[in-house]
């Protein structure tokens, strides 16, 4: 019996509460455990071993571990052991996990200052890691022509890598593939072993807007998207915007354009009981607050809200609600975090919460006045959907896919227009009855997509590929292995010639 193989590399090595891409992989794994055990297997990618089967019990333990995270860091016991990390996880993630583990062992009084010291130097650390990574790639390119670098399956090492898939199976990957997988290896083995691949595109932001991402990643991601185009039999995209961006990029790269399907990400989170919410979260949020849920990085544009608040304060506004940021610090925000720390105008008014559990997050959504989402560009905008699913109005950026999420139920602003953000924030603070009207419209008109339906759509596409594979094998159709590999080789040679 042919199987669907769900890759769970990303969640196995994830050291924090589920966010974004991790939540997609986790929710699909959870659905598979409850509905697809007879026809589905789990796997992970190990750079030294290849693809390795993962037992369902390990996946259950991983989902339970991700769901148990509590906030804040200071409440984690110092006696916690250093967690193990799956071999497929990037070196950056391994280093971050090790640092967090060391911090957990420090006395409570020392953790805050040490964490702030490291956070302010996070960007420099990322730059150093990226510099070493690029040096390694340069050495590899010097030792081996680029045109042959992608022929991984033909190398002696690749021949030793494991592959538990059988002819006729379908491989599904929804995780952090650009850091953890080898798409060239998947493509080579897919054609030689005759299985199909269903992959995912969240966004093409690193290529479309590289200045909003860490380091010089444009070339790396252009290559990644070209590779998945050669590798995938179908690509699921999380919005119409992402699909348009992907197809446009593949056209520019001269890569194939496999079939694409748009899936809607779920926005439902488990309801929480008051006793399950940490006192730290309640105390930090206070009695009156607005909420912005997102990793703190340049693209998410926390600075617009900060500057809108300082503008209102400079105009003499009093008794503003707290502004609560929920998310881990990302890259490019050292100066911004320093501003929050040292700007006396916002002392006690802007609160950053990290490692927030789902229980605490649901409480924050339920008790916020409303939410804000000024992101410069999104593949979807999950926090907007979660806000609506909790009946909360959102003041959001009008960029990219965000209007696909909110429709006509929320208000949209230019993400860079700080005076307008200040004006509209103040207007809603002064007109709570308008917030109530907006919430009533949301309650009566918004139908929240569920993670169960997201997973169903993904696995329905995988089932379709299974059926297609069976028909091809039954009819004795060759998948075009030699033609595909020859085309890939010509594309590689063309790229190599252009660069040399």
Q: Which of 92-106, 110-124, 266-280, 369-383 has the highest mean pLDDT?
A: 369-383
- Mean pLDDT is lowest, of 303-312, 331-340, 471-480, for 471-480
CA distance 204 to 209: 8
Task: Give the tens place of pLDDT for each residue, 177-207.
Answer: 999 998 888 888 898 899 999 999 999 999 9
Check pLDDT > 70 for residue 80.
no
pTM of this structure: 0.78
Give me the mean pLDDT over the 245-259 stretch: 97
Between 85 and 15, residue with greater pLDDT = 15
Q: Give pLDDT, residue 156.
A: 41
- Mean pLDDT is lowest, of 94-98, 236-240, 446-450, 452-456, for 94-98
Q: Give pLDDT, residue 354.
A: 93
Closest CA to 171 of 20, 40, 315: 40
Q: Give pLDDT, residue 1.
A: 82
Check pLDDT > 80 for residue 237.
yes
Edge to edge, the sheet with strand 4-7 lists 50-54, 40-46, 4-7, 170-172, 196-201, 234-237, 260-262
* Complete domains list, the chain, with CATH: 4-265+453-499 (no CATH), 274-445 (3.40.50.2000)
Check pLDDT > 50 for residue 218.
yes
Give me the mean pLDDT over the 310-316 stretch: 98
Q: Give pLDDT, residue 481.
A: 52
Q: Give pLDDT, residue 173.
A: 98
Q: Give pLDDT, residue 273.
A: 76
Give me the mean pLDDT over the 263-282 stretch: 88
The neighbouring-strand residues paired with 7 are: 43
Check pLDDT > 50 for residue 123.
no
CA distance 5 to 201: 18
Between helices 108-120 and 334-342, what is the axis angle to 10°?
130
Sign of the four-CA dihedral 109, 113, 118, 119: positive
CA-atom Rg of the chain in angstroms: 24
Check pLDDT > 60 for residue 261.
yes
The neighbouring-strand residues paired with 390 are: none
Q: Give pLDDT, residue 109.
A: 56
In percent, the amount of the chain with pLDDT more than 90 equals: 64
Check pLDDT > 60 for residue 121.
no
For the chain, the three-class secondary structure string (H helix, E strand, C coil) is CCCEEEECHHHHCCCCCCCHHHHHHHHHHHHHHHHCCCCEEEEEEECCCEEEEECHHHHHHHHHHHHCCCCCHHHCCCCCCCCCCCCCCCHHHHHHHHHHHHHHHCCHHHHHHHHHHHHHCHHHHHHHHHHHHHHHHHHHHHHCCHHHHCCHHHCHHHHHCECCCCCCCEEECCCCHHHHCCHHHHHHHHHHHCCEEEEEECCCHHHHCHHHCCCCCHHHHHHHHHHHHHHCCEEEECCHHHHHHHHHHHHHHCCCCCCEEECCCCCCCCCCCHHHCCHHHHHHHCCCEEEEECCECHHHCHHHHHHHHHHHHHCCCCCCCEEEEECCECCCCHHHHHHHHHCHHHCCCEEEECCCCHHHHHHHHHHCCCEEECCCCCCCCHHHHHHHHCCCCEEEECCCCHHHHHCCCCEEECCCCHHHHHHHHHHHHHCHHHHHHHHHHHHHHCCCCCHHHHHHHHHHHHHHHHHHHHHHHHCCCCCCHHHHHHHHHHHHHHHHHHHC
Q: Give pLDDT, residue 152.
A: 38
Q: Give pLDDT, residue 18.
A: 86
Between 67 and 61, residue with greater pLDDT = 61
Distances (CA, A) of 407 to 216, 243, 463: 34, 18, 31
Check pLDDT > 80 for residue 144.
no
Check pLDDT > 80 for residue 41.
yes
């Amino acid at each position: 019996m042919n199987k669907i193989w769900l890759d769970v590399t990303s969640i196995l090595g994830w050291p924090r509460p589920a966010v974004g891409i991790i939540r997609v992989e986790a929710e699909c794994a959870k659905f598979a455990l409850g509905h697809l055990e007879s026809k589905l297997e789990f796997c992970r990618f190990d750079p030294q071993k290849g693809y390795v089967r993962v037992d369902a019990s390990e996946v259950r333990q991983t989902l339970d571990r991700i769901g148990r995270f509590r906030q804040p860091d200071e409440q984690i016991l110092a006696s916690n052991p250093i967690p193990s990390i799956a071999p497929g996880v990037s070196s950056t993630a391994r280093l971050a996990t090790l640092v967090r583990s060391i911090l957990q062992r420090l006395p409570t009084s020392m953790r805050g200052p040490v964490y702030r010291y490291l956070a302010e130097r996070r960007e420099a650390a990322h730059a150093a890691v990226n510099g070493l990574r690029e040096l390694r790639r340069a050495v590899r390119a010097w030792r081996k022509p680029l045109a042959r670098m992608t022929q991984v399956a033909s190398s002696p090492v690749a021949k030793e890598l494991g592959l538990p898939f059988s002819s006729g199976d379908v491989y599904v990957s929804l995780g952090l593939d650009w850091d953890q997988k080898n798409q060239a290896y998947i493509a080579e083995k897919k054609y030689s072993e005759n299985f199909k691949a269903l992959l995912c595109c969240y966004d093409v932001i690193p290529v479309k807007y590289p200045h909003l991402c860490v380091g010089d990643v444009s070339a790396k991601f252009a290559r990644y998207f070209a590779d998945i185009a050669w590798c995938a039999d179908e690509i699921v995209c999380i919005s119409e915007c992402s699909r348009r961006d992907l197809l446009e990029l593949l056209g520019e790269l001269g890569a194939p354009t496999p079939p694409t399907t748009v899936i809607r990400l779920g926005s439902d989170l488990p309801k929480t009981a008051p006793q399950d919410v940490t006192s730290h979260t309640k105390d930090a949020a206070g009695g009156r607050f607005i909420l912005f849920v997102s990793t703190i990085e340049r693209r998410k544009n926390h600075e617009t809200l900060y500057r809108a608040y300082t503008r209102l304060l400079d105009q003499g506004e009093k008794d503003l609600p707290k502004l609560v940021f929920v998310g881990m610090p990302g890259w490019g925000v050292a100066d911004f975090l320093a501003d929050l720390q040292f700007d006396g105008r916002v002392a006690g008014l802007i609160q950053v919460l990290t490692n927030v559990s789902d229980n605490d997050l649901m409480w924050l959504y339920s008790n916020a006045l409303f939410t804000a989402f000024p992101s410069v560009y999104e593949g979807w905008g999950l926090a907007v959907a979660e806000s609506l699913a909790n009946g909360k109005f959102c003041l959001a950026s009008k960029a990219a896919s965000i209007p696909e999420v909110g429709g006509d139920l929320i208000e949209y602003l230019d993400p860079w227009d700080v005076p307008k953000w200040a004006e509209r924030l103040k207007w809603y603070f002064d007109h709570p009855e308008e917030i109530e009207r907006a919430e009533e419209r949301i309650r009566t008109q918004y139908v929240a997509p569920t993670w169960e339906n997201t997973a169903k759509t993904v696995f329905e596409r995988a089932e379709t590929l299974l059926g297609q594979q069976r028909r091809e094998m039954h009819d004795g159709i060759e998948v075009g292995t030699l033609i595909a590999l020859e085309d890939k080789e010509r594309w590689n040679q063309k790229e190599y010639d252009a660069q040399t």
